Structure 1
Amino acid sequence: MTIGSRGWHVQQFQTALASSGYWLGAADGVFGQLTQQAVWALQKTHGLRRTGVIDEALWNSGLARVRAQSKLKQDGIEIDLATQTLMIVKGGVVHLTLNTSTGNGNGERFEYLGGWATAITPKGTFKIYRKSVQETSTNAWVEGPLGRMYKPRFFTTTGIAVHGSLSIPPYPASHGCIRLHNSAQDYLLRTGRLVNGTDVRIY
């Protein structure tokens, strides 16, 4: 099963993914972009090839019912650069796991707020502290030094943010930010997972 597939089997796998915290919107029996994102997150979590396809081996593995495990066991956002996943953790339990795409490691330099920054994803513990002044109720897209971002929530003073994007491949591709599908970003914002003061731990 892949993008465009429909039916009961798709819905059954979607339901299993959702029950384990792999967010995909609605389990509606339609294999769309959000389901592909969830399948990538599952494959990344368990060290599988990142195909975005539900094949017979994945179907029979039962992994869709296995929740991701937090390494740090601390509340907030946990980002694993090796697996390229973003996890929402509460009480040591992973509530949500999302496909993400972080810094590509090219080390590009860019001007930011009168200084220079390097386009990498930093490791460490941070806190979300602001949104962009450009963002309004009618303007969700923000123009940054390296391109457009959807509803970014910044956690460094050098412009690194968790934000929505139209391109979230299953590998590192950003200039340093944490990319999510726009719908996933909307969901995290709507459910209060990206408020100021939220811990962001990257390793």
Structure 2
Amino acid sequence: MTSTTTTTTAPPKSTPPTVSEVQKILGDLGYQARAVTGQVDDETKHAIVAFQKVNGLPRTGVVDDATAAALRAPKAITPQHATPGTHLEVDIARQVAYVVTDGKVGKIYDACTGDNVGDRVTPLGDFHVYYQINFWEYGPLGNLYHPSYITTTGIAVHGGEPVLAQPGSNGCVRLTDPSIDEVFPLLRPGAEVLIH
């Protein structure tokens, strides 16, 4: 009697991407990794978190196996408004913001909105910037970096850390300071900010 032994081999595990490769992929996709340095800086961590938010992954800021696999086949974002011109969209469920130009998502930012405790709620709707402050504003609820106000009740898109992986602001849309440096010039009075 002859016995046959079958050997099953698992496919080789993919080599994880280097930090430089992650920065390049995220930058090419429009996330806020602004330079390929090979070093994990704060903006790279925020870009990874934003990517994880969009792709429905745990928001760790670390490129684990699931994140590496998603980087090879990333989800695309479909804007709510595909109108001509440029506007900012804020996705409350995902906690990201993105710049849409002529119906196409160009930049994707890690964002933090209201935590819905008491009156710390980010309103939903189609807003327009009515004024901006081109410096730090010091208020009773914290410091706002370059706020662009979209309501008369004090709701703004602004910088000023921290930008958390989950809702945690007083109701405003908070981005990192380098992200606000990019977004602020786009948010001139009259610019559309869609929050959904």
Describe the shift of the 1:177–1:85 C-alpha distance in structure 2 as closer, same or farther (beyond 3 A): same
1:22 aligns with 2:31: yes
Where is the strand percentage greater, Structure 1 or Structure 2? 1
Aligned to 1:72: 81
Aligned to 2:98: 87
Under a length normalisation based on structure 2, what TM-score does the superposition of the two structures give? 0.84
The structure 2 residue matched to 1:149, chosen from 136, 144, 147, is 144
Q: Is the 8 A contact 1:20 1:67 kept in 2?
A: no
CA distance in 2, matches of 1:43, 1:72: 23
Aligned to 1:124: 125
How do 1:170-181 and structure 2 match up within 5 A? 170-181=165-176
CA distance in 2, matches of 1:78, 1:151: 18
> Per-residue CA shift, 1:148-189, capped at 9, x if unaligned?
111111010011000001200111000100001011111223
Q: Is the 8 A contact 2:95 2:111 kept in 1?
A: yes
Q: Is the 8 A contact 2:55 2:75 kept in 1?
A: no
Aligned to 2:114: 103
State the secondary structure of the residue aligned to 2:56. coil
Describe the shift of the 1:21–1:67 C-alpha distance in structure 2 as closer, same or farther (beyond 3 A): farther
Aligned to 2:189: 196
Q: Is the 8 A contact 1:20 1:66 kept in 2?
A: no
Q: Is the 8 A contact 2:57 2:67 kept in 1?
A: no
1:12 aligns with 2:12: no
What 5-or-longer segments of structure 1 have no aligned partner? 1-7, 109-118
> Computing the radius of gyration over CA atoms, which structure comes out larger, 1 or 2?
2
Q: Is the 8 A contact 1:20 1:64 kept in 2?
A: no
Q: Is the 8 A contact 2:132 2:188 kept in 1?
A: no
The number of aligned residues is 178
CA distance in 2, matches of 1:18, 1:89: 16
Q: CA deviation at 1:195?
A: 1.5
Q: Which amino acid aligns with 2:173?
A: I
Describe the shift of the 1:104–1:63 C-alpha distance in structure 2 as closer, same or farther (beyond 3 A): farther
Under a length normalisation based on structure 1, what TM-score does the superposition of the two structures give? 0.82
What 5-or-longer segments of structure 2 have no aligned partner? 1-16
Q: Is the 8 A contact 2:115 2:167 kept in 1?
A: yes
Q: Which moved more, 1:27-36 or 1:64-73?
A: 64-73
Q: Which amino acid aligns with 1:123?
A: L
RMSD (Å), alpha carbons: 1.7
Q: CA deviation at 1:19?
A: 0.6
